[in-house]
A and B are shown apart, each in its own frame.
Chain A
Amino acid sequence: MIEPTRVSSRAEQLRSAFDRARAIPFSSETAEQIENLLAIRVSGDAFAIRLSEVSGLATNKKIVALPSPIPELLGVAGIRGRLVPVYSLAALLGYSANADQGRWLALCGAEEPVGLVINDFEGHLRVPLAQVYKAEQKDMTSTHVTHVVRASDMVRAVVSIPQLVEIIRTRCRGAGE
């Protein structure tokens, strides 16, 4: 049970944090030294994707299944007036095809966007660049993980969305041939 005094102090903290954020002057240098990441989980494993590699985030979109030789393709969904092919991020990362399908959908690419279904979305991370490390070869579980980030006392593998998109395109081409 949360005590009433604690609730009021909590409200005070929120209020002061909001006010403090509004009071801090904007600094572009500070903004450039920050990496925006989306913290996600795939079949229980912690991952992160760069916000800059994502063109949008949607939720609870209806996915219409399509017959396809590509097992990672879940179907198509209507997002922002366009039909977007939706792929399973878990399947693309090499997890089981029967992994839980999430309700989060990350749009990747601008001209030919691709939707990636995320199992669990944990939040938005703003991490200093100093905490983003290039992944060594021996630590890399797959070729689409290039960096690791340490945030909130947790190390996450940073998934390279462009590489995943390239893999998808390669498979689509293979499937088309």
Chain B
Amino acid sequence: MWTFGRRIVVGFMIPCLLLLGIGVVAYRSISSLTSTSYLVAHTQQVLEHLAEVLSLLKDAETGQRGYVITGDEAFLEPYQAGIGDVPNVVKALRQLTADNSNQQTRLDQAELLIAAKLAELKQTIEMRRKGNLEETVKIIRMGEGKRQMDDLRTVLGQMEHEEREQLKLRTEEVEASARNAKSTIVLGTVICLLLVAATAFYITRSLSGQIGLAVRHVQSSSSELQSASSQQASGAKESATAMSQINTTITELQATSRQIAESAQRVSHVAEETSSAARAGDQTVQKTHESVSGIKRQVDLIVTHMLDLGKKSQQIGGILEIINELAEQTNILAINATIEAAGAGDAGKRFSVVADEIRKLADRVGGSTKEIRVLIEEIRSAVNTTVMATEGGSKAVDLGARQFVEVTAALKQITELVGTTTQAAREIELSTKQQSTAVEQVNVAVSQVAKASQEAEISANQTTQTAGQLAGLSRDLLRLVQANARA
């Protein structure tokens, strides 16, 4: 589909080309007319020069006749003027007819005749001056001069005739060129007007239809643009509000970042103090570990002694069992002695008393052995308890030693972790400062965005107004394009 510009260009190009053609034809016609006019004028000059040559010769002949008749030098004045100008005129004729060989040939004949005529005139004038009137008349009566003039008139008449023929031809050419130019101009103008009218009609019709359609599109687009710009304005307003809230949030975030940075700095200090405390604790734990190792050795020694004590108490228990058994056997013996004493009658009564004492002693020994057994049991229990407690203590010491090793490793790990924590806290501090800087930049950016949103809102309002104006302009344009269109 052709664009409006192309259509207009093409629509104007055709008349322009026609005008150009008309102009070219007119130019050529005028040029031809001008050159033909120049040629006509040139022919007129040749005719004038031919007539002037004949006239000058007539003047010279007139002066010659007057002088011959009168002998008065005053009558030679036309003769002098004629013989003075004839060569110049002939020379001009030769130049004017330089493009015509026939005329040059005739001009050569004419020069010969002119020279002969002038010689005859000069001869007669000299003869008259010498006083030979009769000879002079005689020569004139011979008619040589007249023949020369007649021949010259004939030659000049031929030249004039040819020039007049050329003049006629050139005049016809001029008329033909003028007719052609007139017909070309009139016809081209009519065709050009028709073409211009047709092009104008076509362009007007097509442009009015398409521009009307485009204007309607522009109208609907401007309406949509108006609604879109209204939405954009409301969106920009909401965006500005949101940006304001974001700005507030970022300000709080900035304050929080500063607090985090300060906290990270404090954490870093605390971590350094913790690291030094952990190193001191590590040394203390090392010393304590050595002390615990000494305690463990002492506890092992105590366990050994307590086990010996238990073994000794067991041996005492064994001996006590022997004593108890002896006491029991003594008791049995005493009882049997009492029985025997009772069987012995009065003689055995005193022995019965002794046996009773022995029995009592055996009972007391038995009671004492019971007490000793209780004591030994208590000792064994105490030893067992002590051994168990000591073993428990030894195990606790072992566990403590292992735990001390673990504590040492843990303290070492704590030291490393504290170092890591310190590094992390420093990184957090640095990152938080960078974050704070970034947040400040974001804050500035958000402020700019908020400002841009406000400007966008203003721009959207302006766009709305512009869209309204555009809608009005499109209605006006539609009315201009389509007169019967109703906006």
Contacts and interface: CB of A to CB of B under 8 A. Distances in A.
**Binding partners A and B:** yes
B339 A54 contact: yes
B335 A38 contact: yes
Interface stretch (A56-64, A81-89, A157-165): A56-64
Given A1-B378, A57-B339, 19 more contacts: A2-B371, A2-B374, A10-B368, A17-B364, A18-B361, A22-B357, A26-B350, A36-B338, A36-B342, A51-B339, A55-B343, A57-B332, A59-B332, A110-B343, A123-B331, A124-B338, A124-B356, A124-B359, A126-B356
A28 interface: yes
Interface string A101-127: 000000000100000000000011010
A56 B371 CA distance: 28
B234 interface: no
B336 interface: yes
A55 B331 CA distance: 15
Contact of B360 (A21, A36, A56): A21
Contact of B353 (A17, A26, A51, A56): A26
A51 B342 contact: yes
Interface of B: 328-329, 331-332, 334-336, 338-339, 342-343, 346, 349-350, 352-353, 356-357, 359-361, 363-364, 368, 371, 374-375, 378
Interface of A: 1-2, 10, 14, 17-18, 21-22, 26, 28, 31, 36, 38, 51-52, 54-59, 110, 123-124, 126
Nearest to A58: B332
Contacts of A56: 336, 339
Chain B CB count within 10 A is highest, among A21, A22, A110, for A21
27 contacts: A1-B378, A2-B371, A10-B371, A14-B364, A14-B368, A17-B364, A18-B360, A18-B364, A21-B360, A26-B349, A28-B346, A31-B352, A31-B353, A51-B335, A51-B342, A52-B339, A55-B339, A55-B343, A57-B332, A57-B336, A57-B339, A59-B332, A123-B331, A124-B356, A124-B359, A124-B363, A126-B356
Contacts of A51: 335, 338-339, 342
Contact of B357 (A1, A21, A28, A31): A21
A123 B363 contact: yes
The 10 A-B pairs with the shortest beta carbon distances in the complex, nearest first, are A57-B335, A14-B364, A21-B357, A57-B332, A56-B336, A124-B359, A1-B378, A124-B335, A52-B342, A57-B336
A55 B357 CA distance: 20
Nearest to B379: A1
Contacts of B353: 26, 31
Nearest to B362: A124
A36 B356 CA distance: 10
B358 to A, nearest CB: 10
Nearest to B382: A1
B232 to A, nearest CB: 102
Nearest to B375: A2
A155 B371 CA distance: 26
Contacts of A17: 360, 364
Nearest to B346: A28
Contacts of A124: 331, 334-335, 338, 356, 359, 363
